[in-house]
Chain A
């Protein structure tokens, strides 16, 4: 009786055993499902990673250009005719035009060299209106921009040039930025503050 009962119970338990086999298949399917999901996720992750990288590149190039523009505008304010009548950016002991001046002062921009001021003034006015691009007052400014460090972040200044080189009264300098593939990223126009001191 007891044995029969045990047999029945064991038989009953044995009847459940096929469910454990199904569980293995289920596990396999689950594994496959998970594998597919992981594979898909991996692809997506790669895409996401690419986007993130591109965003980073985009931001990096934008920041690099912003930094460069900021530096160019700093040069635009520092560029002066105080020592070199055709324009220069005084540095070292000459910073402040040797007179402790700063670009916040009107006297900073105009020729100040005692004794030869009128000759320098004449040269300065001549540079302001020079028909020759090489002699134009903006030429030193363009040179200074080109001497700045490379922009970096995959971007370069592809062009720093007068907007209209044949028009001496146009002091706009156009700066273009492009990526390695040549696509133009940014374009700005800038003029040295010094231009306002022209005649």
Chain B
């Protein structure tokens, strides 16, 4: 076009020349026209060349454009593939983490991303098995999720195909903080759940009570013919809890802690898998319809397996009519809203799980406690004609337990020991002692001490059930005005208090057992600001507060009192001088020579009843209270008091503040308390009625995504 325009200018120029230099005549005009046409013919070639060039240029441009378009469509296709790879990898991510063995990784927390395959905490307990009716968690390391850990490494989407790869750019754990206007907040392993302050986000999820979120960003990459295309896709899944082996339903261990924990329509009422031992047995509350309470402090509650205790049991009612418990279950217990403590980063507090069960506690070993039924627990239970054999006695008195004894008209006495019924030839007014009661002893008088034996009215203990002499056997208020040690004097097999024989105790020793059993009866112990030491070096000591009409303080005293359990070596033992406070480590010693370093050296054969954790027990039969200050020194005892209140004041320098079991009605824990509690049931549960396995339901979770935002 430009060339043509130039040519036209030239024509105009010639026209001007003709008009100025030559006169206008017709023939000349014709000639001039002829001349004027000649230059046009002369420019045909350049025009053609220009046109050809233009054509070629246009073709080249068109070709280039078409090529670019083609390449663009190819590249676009490759990029689509890259996007496909990223989306497929996200599908794979969800499918892989939803595999049962990986499901607890869905709530691991942001600080655990590097520990997916190494930290056994993240193994799903739902993959465990039941062996001999006992649940055994599977702690095998799951590795299938490794390739979805956040990393800088490219992974093949399809095995063996390196042309399609993905890279996990980011994985973020979040939850919805409704206290902050439903803000989605990142969380770590120990982050406290703002909506459920007694729990970490993770624990609340593992108890079926909260939903979390998992966001994943993945890059997809496709390499083809030297070209590489990448695409990035982000998806967010909701991680929803469910019972092990079931789908989403209405079953949350947190009860009403969340507004409506119905995650789906699976109608199952109870989770089919549950932890059946340990958690919950050390602390049992609401046994008479009461409940827990306390300050919003940190609770550091650990069992003897080192597991953090986040669940306890509360009484959900009797199963039969054969239970000591006679109250009405707490509504809060039944609703699952009872809890203790305030969640912190690593100490999430305790929630109480309702569980129906019967409870029958041991009676005093000197006989039935008043109003506690007609069981055989304790001392004398019958007089029979004839001696009978051990098998016959066992058949006649099937409910007898350790400490029961039966007199015969032949003067012989049967004593129920841990190994069975043992026949003694006599029961004389001998001088009992720990050493005199051995395997060859034939006189029960060496193995049992009763206050003022042989003098009225105490001989009733030898011939009458305890219920027949409640006013005769002392039920004192023990008031101490100086630091006091209560211990078994091995020389006399009697209980003493700073050298003074206690008249409210009966001691029985099984000749084959490493410890005697001392049962002492109190109304209450007023310890003021003094230190009370309970020495278990030679005896299992049981305190019975069995005045059911007394509602005051059973034990506690004033602000500076401490109640210490002490235990010393028998070598060189001096009664009343022992001051070795039992530690948590010693508390776990077993009466089992096979226990190695944890074995009690006093035990030559196994007898679980004499494990160190069993050597000091307190039974409360009324609605009194225990106020235990564990700040200066550890309080170590098992409290079985279904109608009573137990208040523990923790904090301070003692570590722990309390160790033992708390089975009571009201439980108050104040201060930043360290509590160590056994994972096992007490030994008396083998022949009494105790809470069943705690049945802590097991949950796992699934990452799911509805269709409108489906990541599948």
Residues of A near any B CB (own CB < 8 A): 9, 13, 16, 19-20, 22-23, 26-27, 29-31, 33-34, 36-38, 40-41, 44-45, 47-48, 51-52, 54-55, 58-59, 61-62, 65-66, 69, 73, 76-78, 103-104, 106-107, 110, 112, 117-118, 121, 125, 169-172, 174, 185-193, 195-199
Contacts and interface: CB of A to CB of B under 8 A. Distances in A.
B70 A51 contact: yes
B129 interface: no
Given A41-B55, A106-B265, A193-B710, A58 B80 contact: no
B641 interface: no
B63 A47 contact: yes
Contacts of B712: 76, 190-193, 195-196
A104 B238 CA distance: 13
B52 interface: yes
Contacts, number: 187
Contact of A19 (B42, B48, B98, B161): B42
B80 A66 contact: yes
Contact of A187 (B47, B88, B265): B88
Contacts of A33: 45, 48-49, 52
Contacts of B92: 172, 189
Contact of A73 (B42, B59, B710): B710
24 contacts: A16-B35, A22-B42, A27-B45, A30-B49, A33-B52, A34-B48, A52-B66, A54-B70, A106-B265, A107-B264, A112-B265, A121-B266, A125-B245, A170-B95, A174-B158, A185-B77, A188-B87, A189-B92, A190-B712, A191-B94, A191-B712, A196-B702, A196-B705, A198-B247
Interface string B30-64: 01001100100110110111011101101110110
A195 B702 CA distance: 10
B84 A188 contact: yes
Interface residues of B, number: 66
B51 A77 contact: no
Contact of B31 (A13, A51, A174, A187): A13
A22 B43 CA distance: 11
Contact of A44 (B63, B80, B164): B63
Contacts of B31: 9, 13
Contacts of B247: 110, 121, 125, 197-199
Interface of B: 31, 34-35, 38, 41-42, 44-45, 47-49, 51-53, 55-56, 58-60, 62-63, 66-67, 69-70, 72-74, 76-77, 80-81, 84, 87-89, 91-92, 94-95, 98-100, 157-158, 161, 164, 242, 245-248, 263-267, 702-708, 710, 712
A37 B703 CA distance: 65
A18 B710 CA distance: 84
A58 B70 contact: yes
A31 B158 contact: no
Contacts of A171: 95
Contact of A59 (B38, B73, B95): B73
Given A51-B63, A52-B66, A172 B42 contact: no
A62 B74 CA distance: 9
Nearest 9 A-B pairs (CB), nearest first? A30-B48, A77-B707, A37-B52, A23-B41, A196-B704, A189-B88, A44-B59, A51-B66, A103-B707
A125 B243 CA distance: 13
B41 A27 contact: yes
Given A27-B44, A51-B63, A55-B70, A62 B80 contact: yes
B91 A41 contact: no
Contact of A41 (B34, B49, B56, B81): B56
A18 to B, nearest CB: 11
Given A125-B245, A193-B704, 13 more contacts: A13-B31, A23-B38, A23-B41, A33-B49, A34-B48, A51-B66, A62-B73, A69-B84, A187-B157, A189-B88, A189-B91, A193-B707, A193-B712
